[in-house]
Homo-oligomer: A and B are copies of this chain.
Amino acid sequence: MNLIDGKAISAQIKQEIAEEVANIKAAGGKTPHLAAVLVGHDGGSETYVAAKVKACEEVGFKSTLIRYEDDVTETELLACVERLNNDTDIDGFIVQLPLPKHISEDKITEAIDYRKDVDGFHPVNVGRMSLGLPCFLSATPSGIMELLKRYEIETKGKHCVILGRSNIVGKPAAVLMMQKGYPGDCTVTVCHSRTSNIKEMCLQADIIIAALGVPEFLKGDMVKEGTVVIDVGTTRVPSDKTKSGFRLAGDVAFDEVAPKCSYITPVPGGVGPMTIVSLMKNTLLAGKKVIY
């Protein structure tokens, strides 16, 4: 069993990005600039945005944090998006989700200029990904592909079973894994809450991407010997072993499953650290204007 070390890989990629940014600056080029819009004070969102700003510092990007209170109107937020769309110094920006209920997330996402949509959530980027055209890939599926590449895990002709059909993980991961080329060329099965025989499907898998958001869903008796397991789950569950009283639980019963795997990602320290690195990669691409 090989542990896929997302923390080490993400550190390595940040280092690579930092070197490229240093070269750009040394050559008199523009410093990539990421803006993040944060509405309200949700604990998770605060943490994520802080980590993104910190990552920008680490790689040498300029970053701007724009805060609104929970009672910001949709009109105000749309005006902010419009300002950022037109701000030529800002290469890419994100609006941290979730948003308060009185604001349409779809409307905000679609208002973002897709050429600055470094989260890869805009329909143009989702569509271009599906069509195999250059685009901003969304963070989690992009991070998964990067892990497979860095560990040189074979995918061609393999059966990849994806648990979950969400817009931000399951569906894009399915498209990327079936796409021609590497990593890809997999036979892909997408299972979800309506699937009647998940265990049977998982037992056929060479690669499992677990993204249901159900702690320890994937048990030892659901995987065959030699499977590659990518655990995307990050559910906060109560714990008496941590100071906070919580721990992050993956979708995989790690202790049972790991011994049977050829490769497996831990939680935390697997896919998680890769997502912020994917955002940094997109911001660098946006700064270099290589996609649009």
Contacts and interface: CB of A to CB of B under 8 A. Distances in A.
A132 B167 contact: yes
B157 A195 contact: yes
A213 to B, nearest CB: 15
A190 B192 contact: no
Nearest to A158: B196
A125 interface: yes
Given A131-B167, A187-B189, A189-B187, A156 B123 contact: no
A111 to B, nearest CB: 13
User: In terms of DSSP, what is the predominant structure of the interface of chain A?
Assistant: mixed
Interface stretch (A90-98, A171-179, A220-228): A171-179
A195 B187 contact: yes
A12 B191 CA distance: 35
A196 B192 contact: no
Copies of this chain in its oligomeric complex:
2
B190 A187 contact: yes
Contacts of A192: 178, 185, 187
Contacts of A187: 189-192, 194-197, 201
A191 B158 CA distance: 11
Interface string A186-212: 111111101111000100000000000
Contacts of A194: 156-157, 185-187
A149 interface: no
Contact of A127 (B130, B174, B190, B196): B130
A106 interface: yes
Interface string A250-279: 000000000000000000000000000000
Which has the most chain B C-beta neighbours within 10 Å: A132, A174, A201? A174
Contacts of A196: 157, 187
Nearest to A177: B190
Interface of A: 106, 122-128, 130-133, 156-157, 159, 165, 167, 171-172, 174-175, 178-180, 185-192, 194-197, 201
Query: 8 nearest interchain CB pairs?
Result: A127-B127, A123-B127, A126-B127, A189-B189, A187-B195, A185-B194, A157-B196, A123-B128
